[in-house]
Structure 1
Amino acid sequence: MHALDWHLVNSPHVEALPARLLRPRARANADARALAQAPWGLRRKSDGRFLATYDGCRLHALWHGLAREPGLAEAIAAIDASCTHGGPPWPLPLAGLQERLDTLGLDASYGETSGLALVPEPSRLEFAGYDRYRRPLWLLEPAARAWRRMQRAARADDIVLDAISGYRSHDYQLGIFERKLARGQSVQEILAVNAAPGYSEHHGGLAMDIGTPGEAPAEESFEATPAFHWLRDQAGRFGFRMSYPRDNPHGITYEPWHWCWHPAAPAAASPASV
């Protein structure tokens, strides 16, 4: 599996990733050995637990409760479909989303009042390199290609852009809320900075938080950097737009670091140049 062909296969409860990308995060030597010997590693989305490896025929358990784990059959079917049929990704069902919103005391009126649309997770995302923290960065294929082109163009102008984050699952977004609630923040305080689970542009694999070395992540001070000035002037050439300017209608705090790729925007170069 060549790095340029690495992709994340998504299903409602379990995600499958190239096993070699999971190996550095394995907590046990036995897990690392198993991940070294299989093309796919399966991970629970709600908490990131390694569940199994999959070689295209058999599962090798990394978790003693594997037999009771929900969603494995769907995950394997998604891997097989991706490897056999290819084609564009499709949106995953939104089943279970309201349960996540209920835990935060939110209902359908949140989308109406915020003006934010529901964003389903895609069934497949492409490897777009690594983020600042050496985590795999996942985006939809056209956004991944546009990001790599934009990053190279910035480097040619002596500007270094690094990714802070890309795709996030609904479960991951809920985890952000849970961690901030545990630190004493209220739901309304969090909603000023983070969209509710199901409503973040990050879910669709088109949005990124972008930074530059030496600058703290996701801070308004990013707007004073040469990297932001370059993005402001050049990002549109690659299809990226800043989603949350000052006084945006969604009630989201100004986010000069958050940029989203839009299919209708003009591309800077042909895909063959990637």
Structure 2
Amino acid sequence: MRRQPGDLINTAEVELWPGGLLRAHGNHHARALARATRVLRRKRDGRYLAARVPEGFVSLLPGWQDEPGVDQALESIQAAESAPPRRLRSTGCLPLHGLTERLRQLGIDADGYARRTGLALVAEPARLEFAGFDRYRRALWLRAGAANGWRQMQLAARRDGVVLEAISGYRSHDYQLGIFERKLARGQQVAQILQVNAAPGYSEHHSGLALDIGTPGEPPAEESFEHTAAFGWLQANAAAHGFLMSYPRDNPHGIVYEPWHWRYQPGPGL
């Protein structure tokens, strides 16, 4: 079996996925993805743009070369291929790409929201590591330290007879914006959505350090998770693996209690 690169290269408008992880949309996609070492994926809607194969690029969307952000994405591929392996482990962050204007279009005052909640804007990592699959067999992306911490914690829990499942890890600003747009389209008000979801750009999921955790038989992202053996195990052991619960009851950010949401914040010695 061909060895695939294990990282996701992230740019402002295009994600560069390693081959072998994305589901095909039709026969043409299937043939291209089967041979791909990289797939260019548009962030705002998840559309596949092109696949990198040994002899070049296969188009998966007409006119893909003219898509916004493609030039930057191709430069990132070239830089990654020429970088020493050790440098690939390090990651910077992307600039906050026009986010304030997009928040304004949703009716969110970025400065007012930050003052009210105490939350800061979170930049996206330029590189993320494959940390396995989530409950839904989607690729789970985290920063390298968080990915290793999650794998070790999941293994330790299993040794104690507890199954931890990832529900969601890294999310882009575009993904979070999509959550708001869909809820607004269903008639919810911005104030209602902000009680449950951090504003786009302010979610810990953007950092690649946070993940939502579940366990088999328990619905995702529900307060009832606190009554499971998995939650009890996390309370007793997560800190030893570098994970802390971000939003306990009555947290200062005004976000509802989220016993499922944990962030990698390793202490000394981890």
- TM-score, with length taken from structure 1: 0.93
Question: Equivalences for 1:1-150 in 2 at 5 Å?
Answer: 2=3, 5-22=5-22, 25-55=23-53, 58-85=56-83, 86-87=87-88, 88-107=90-109, 108-150=111-153
Question: Equivalences for 1:239-258 in 2 at 5 Å?
Answer: 239-258=242-261
2:157 corresponding residue in structure 1? 154
Question: Equivalences for 1:111-260 in 2 at 5 Å?
Answer: 111-260=114-263
SS of 1:75's partner is: helix
Query: Per-residue CA shift, 1:195-250, capped at 9, x if unaligned?
Result: 11110000010000000000000000000000000000100000000000000000
The letter of the residue matching 1:128 is: A
The letter of the residue matching 1:45 is: K
Query: Per-residue CA shift, 1:57-100, capped at 9, x if unaligned?
Result: 73221101313211111111112222322341111010211122
1:271 corresponding residue in structure 2? none
Question: Which whole-Å CA distance do the structure 2 matches of 1:99 and 1:210 have between them?
Answer: 32
Q: Using a 3 Å threshold, how does the CA distance of structure 1 residues 203 and 57 change in structure 2: closer, same or farther?
A: farther
The letter of the residue matching 1:261 is: Y
SS of 2:136's partner is: coil
CA contact (8 A) 1:91 1:121 kept: yes
Question: Which whole-Å CA distance do the structure 1 matches of 2:244 and 2:269 have between them?
Answer: 11
Write out the 4+ residue segments of structure 1 that deviate beyond 4 Å after TM superposition. Answer: none
Question: Which whole-Å CA distance do the structure 2 matches of 1:57 and 1:76 have between them?
Answer: 15
SS of 1:93's partner is: coil
Q: Using a 3 Å threshold, how does the CA distance of structure 1 residues 161 and 70 change in structure 2: closer, same or farther?
A: same
Residue 259 (structure 1) shift: 0.0
Residue 181 (structure 1) shift: 1.4
Query: Per-residue CA shift, 1:121-150, capped at 9, x if unaligned?
Result: 001000000000000000000000000000
Question: Which whole-Å CA distance do the structure 2 matches of 1:20 and 1:245 have between them?
Answer: 38
SS of 2:196's partner is: coil
CA contact (8 A) 2:32 2:53 kept: no
Question: Which whole-Å CA distance do the structure 2 matches of 1:64 and 1:123 have between them?
Answer: 27
Q: Identity over aligned residues, as a percent?
A: 60
Question: Which whole-Å CA distance do the structure 1 matches of 2:19 and 2:8 have between them?
Answer: 10
Residue 18 (structure 1) shift: 1.2
Q: Using a 3 Å threshold, how does the CA distance of structure 1 residues 241 and 206 change in structure 2: closer, same or farther?
A: same
Residue 266 (structure 1) shift: 4.4
SS of 1:231's partner is: helix
Question: Which whole-Å CA distance do the structure 1 matches of 2:32 and 2:96 have between them?
Answer: 32
Report the number of matched residues.
264
CA contact (8 A) 1:167 1:203 kept: yes
Unaligned runs of 5+ in 1: 268-274
Unaligned runs of 5+ in 2: none
